[in-house]
Amino acid sequence: MSQKENGSFPYSYVTDIFSGELFNAYELSEGEPLKIEYFFDCPEFMQLKQQYPIERVAGKGGDFERALKLCRWLAPRLKHQSDYDNHIDCNSLALLEYCFEKPDVGINCLNKATILSECCLSIGIYARRCGQMPCSPYDGDNHVVAEIFDRKRKKWIALDPTYGSYFSDGIQPLSCLELRQAFANHAPVSVVINRQNPADIEKLQKRNAGLNWYYAKNSYYFFFDAVSAFGSSAESDAYYVVPKGFDIRRQRIRAFENWKVMYGMDVEDRIAKAKTQTFLIASADLWDSPVA
């Protein structure tokens, strides 16, 4: 195939490659029946709501509707900077003070998902960060979104504060797991950006093709914080949801080795940790209802 022919491939072909990868790794590891803990009464949440109009922006309605309004309010007010070095404490108060409505200061997707998750928790919505990870250890890029539990729909729904978006199959908003399954099954699915109508999902698939392949690439496995609360990420363990037979330790070690070769990064500590780390593998039960 010539370079010209290769360069003319539409994004849908790229998505198909990653969808096929997900199809071949469709079955997830049974894992352990691990549960995420959610805390809504952290004292910092009161300060968060006093300093920012969280409750007014969320307004009234169901959990998804309120969370989506927060997501779309935050997105244009948080500049994206993929190479942000995570030097600010990873909690909503510190991050918002650092970058909210400051066009010269940016943060990455992990920190944006932290802000949205904590804003949702502060108004009583079950929320958590979900890391979306690629298969290849040579792919240094991944993504992080937020997931909220909608009590009316009785399901988890993913929201991306980087783009102010969610995901749909044309019928309902989707969780990260449902998004992965839709890609794997070559079913109609797309990211839905502000002012887009999910009813014509096939049109959105084409319109948002450049983003859809990116989410397909980063849906191979997922990670979550064991505790979802104010600033919980620094102290909590991580839960991983991975395909059956996937050796996450081997993948992470190889990824760090590649960072050393490609970018000259000092990763010896990370490699040593990965060799001895206990990777907590969770089952798809993480998408069950958290409501008692």
pLDDT of residue 15: 85
| Mean pLDDT, residues 15-43 | 95
d(CA 286, CA 269): 30
| Mean pLDDT, residues 13-32 | 93
CA angle 55, 101, 174 (to 5 degrees): 55
pLDDT of residue 5: 38
Q: How high is the mean pLDDT of the chain? A: 93
Residues in CB range of 50: below 8 A, 6 or more apart: none
DSSP E strand boundaries for the chain:
37-38, 79-80, 106-107, 127-133, 143-150, 155-160, 165-168, 190-192, 221-225, 227-228, 238-241, 280-281
pLDDT of 145 > 60? The answer is yes
Rounded to two decimals, the pTM is 0.94
| Mean pLDDT, residues 194-223 | 95
Residue type, 191: V
Residue type, 142: N
Residues in CB range of 229: below 8 A, 6 or more apart: 37, 38, 39, 42, 121
Determine whether 247 is exposed, middle or buried from the number of CB atoms within 10 Å of its CB (0-12, 13-18, 19+). Answer: exposed
d(CA 239, CA 254): 20
pLDDT of 140 > 60? The answer is yes
Give the residue from 258, 247, 223 showing the smallest Cα distance to 144.
223
Place of tokens 């029946």: 33
pLDDT of 232 > 90? The answer is no
Q: pLDDT tens for residues 200-212?
A: 999 999 999 989 9
Token reading at 87: 């030097």
pLDDT of 185 > 70? The answer is yes
| 8-state DSSP, 60 | S
Residue 199 near residue 80, CB atoms below 8 Å: no
